[in-house]
Structure formats: structure tokens, C-alpha cells
Amino acid sequence: MTSIGIDLGGTKIEGIALAPDGEELARIRIPTPRGSYPDTLAAIVSLVHALETKTATTGTVGLGIPGAESTLTGNIKNANSTWLIGQPLRHDLEQGLGRPVRLSNDANCFALSEATDGAAAGAELVFGVILGTGVGGGIVVRQQVLRGANAIAGEWGHNPLPWPQALDQPLPECYCGRAGCIETYLSGPGLAKDHTRVTGQVLAPEAIVAGAIGGDAGCIATLDRYIERLARALATVINVLDPDVIVLGGGLSNVEALYAETPQRWDPYVFSDEVRTRLVRARHGDSSGVRGAAWLWND
């Protein structure tokens, strides 16, 4: 049977149809109807039907969202696409499509994709990391998403940055209401704000990385602080989960220096005499989220 995955983003909704062997049969991308829950719901239903028309099949449907489903109410919580919050999204989609729908956080879908047929294929325990506008995480054990009792497993971005140092002060305020969250340091906006705080320059994350590669001293120092913080943050993940592989995705995952330097720097913080965990770049890139949504039915 065809596996259909839908990745619901803040600006676009992407759909994909996969054959059982992972071959891509069809892909469609449409704008997200921002601010309107009924229009978003209708757009997803229409996208599923369009994929099935294109492939002349009927498939299972998995959905990845920037949030989670409350275990208390079944409604959406923690979504940065705020018009979804408090809505019974899965229930309404099942009514609209006339079949069961599986729903998971987009970081979980990313991790599942890479654990199924991506950079961490074959690994028993995988931690997937998204370093982008926000910082998300997902846990996959034996190719199954670990949801957790509160549907927040892997949400490492809203834990405090561990082993704080002088250069980490003052703690940046986070939209979640706390200060010093990992996301405030390791997201793209967090990297840019840190560079401005230290140098006074206002640069986009891409410009900071390019400047570091080009030899700019201020940009080199900013990227060095970023790598050090990433190493500390991932060390706590290793201490708790002990994953075989950590996969990086999101815009900042394209920084080549992360893969060579971060594992060298996490050693002092990991409670072990050796660290075998591998740090790798996502194989499927921006497609991992939508592919993982399709694999939510891969039991």
C-alpha cells in the first residue's frame, strides 16, 4: 500500500507518496493557509486526495506538525503555528478523509525518516535534532517513535543549557517563559543574537557561517561558542539516552565544522571513558520530515 506523508509547516504544506520500498511516487507542495484552522484542514484533505489521484492509489496517511497532541484532550498543544492550538486536528482529519490518521511532532518524523532509510538506518537508538528557526528533537527506538507519557519525548530545546559558562550570561529569554533554554542559544535566531550581543554586528546566521569560513575573527569566535554549546547540550542527551547515532537537520546542520569538532568537545561532559555515539548529517535533508510522516505507519 502507498504511504502518504504530510509535513505541515508554518509557510508550506508538503505531501509525499511513497512505495513500500521507499521509492517516491509523487510530491506536492502548497502554501499554508496561515491563521485559519478550517482552511488548513481543508488544504490537507485536498492534498491527500491530489496525491492519491496522481498515483492512482489509496494510502495510509501520516502527519507531522510543529507541535504535539495533548494526551489529556487529544487537541494540539505546543504548536508555533498557533492557529492549531486547542484544535482536534487528528480527529477532524480522520472525519474528512474517512480513515485513521497518525500524527506526530515534526522532529519525531525527521528522526524516524533518518532511522528508517536515512543516515541512521539500522541503528537501534537514534536521536534526531533540528537546528533551525527553533530547536527540536525526536527519539526513535528500533524504528519506532518514542512518544512519551506526555507526548514530549525528545523536547530537549526547552531544557536549560548545561554547564553554563561566563560567556553564556546573561541567560537569554525564551518565548516559553523561561530563560537560558537550549533553543535560545542553538537556533538560527539564537546564533544571530549571540553574535550581535558580543560584536555589535547584525548578521544573519548564513552570513556568520560564511564570515567564519572567510576568516572573520568575530564570526569565528561566534561559531566557536556555538559548537561548544552544542557539544554540552548533546552530551546531556548522550548521558540520558546513550544513542547510537545523533542526526542533525535544519538550516544550521549544513555547517561542516559541527561534525568534526562537536564530538571532540563533548567528551569531557559525557560520563564514560569513551563515546561511540556518531554525529551525522541527515541524508534526506529537507525531505526527512515528510518522509518520516509517511513512515509513521511502518509497523
Rounded average pLDDT over 157-185: 94
User: Which residues are registered as beta bridge partners of 7?
Assistant: 14, 64
Angle at 7 between CA 2 and CA 9, to 5 degrees: 165
The answer to whether 161 touches 180, Cβ cutoff 8 Å, is yes
The set of cell numbers assigned to 137 is 528533537
Output the pLDDT for position 79: 83
- The string of pLDDT tens digits covering residues 102-149 is 999 999 999 999 999 999 999 999 999 999 888 989 999 999 999 999
Task: Kindly state which CATH superfamily the domain 122-282 is placed in.
Answer: ATPase, nucleotide binding domain (3.30.420.40)
Secondary structure string (H, E, C) spanning 123-159: CCEEEEEEECCCEEEEEEECCEECCCCCCCCCCHHHC
Residues sharing a CB contact under 8 Å with residue 258, sequence separation 6 or more, in sequence order:
227, 230, 248, 252, 279
- The string of pLDDT tens digits covering residues 204-218 is 999 999 999 999 999
Which of helix, strand or coil describes residue 116? helix
Q: Say which amino acid occupies 94.
A: E
How large a percentage of the chain has pLDDT more than 70? 100
Output the pLDDT for position 208: 98
Output the pLDDT for position 124: 98
Which of helix, strand or coil describes residue 196? helix
Output the pLDDT for position 78: 85
When the pLDDT of each residue in the chain is averaged and rounded to a whole number, the result is: 95
Which of helix, strand or coil describes residue 18? strand
- The string of pLDDT tens digits covering residues 18-37 is 999 999 999 999 999 999 99
How large a percentage of the chain has pLDDT more than 90? 89
Angle at 140 between CA 135 and CA 143, to 5 degrees: 140
Q: Which CATH architecture has domain 2-111?
A: 2-Layer Sandwich (3.30)
Output the pLDDT for position 175: 83
Gap between the Cα atoms of 12 and 17, Å rounded: 17
The residue extents of the domains of the chain are: 2-111, 122-282
- 298 pLDDT higher than 90: no
- 80 pLDDT higher than 80: no
- 154 pLDDT higher than 90: yes
User: Which residues are registered as beta bridge partners of 8?
Assistant: 13
Output the pLDDT for position 176: 84
Domain 2-111 matches domain 122-282 at the CATH topology level = yes
The set of cell numbers assigned to 247 is 542526526
Torsion of CA 62, 64, 68, 70, to 10 degrees: -20
Can you list the alpha helix ranges (DSSP code H) found in the chain? 37-55, 89-97, 106-117, 182-186, 188-199, 205-213, 217-241, 257-266, 288-294
Q: Say which amino acid occupies 250.
A: G
Which of helix, strand or coil describes residue 265? helix
The set of cell numbers assigned to 238 is 548522550
Answering whether pTM is above 0.75, one says yes
- 186 pLDDT higher than 90: yes
Output the pLDDT for position 85: 93
User: Which residues are registered as beta bridge partners of 137?
Assistant: 129
Output the pLDDT for position 113: 96
- 66 pLDDT higher than 90: no
Q: What are phi and psi of 241, to 5 degrees?
A: -100, -30
The set of cell numbers assigned to 88 is 482536534
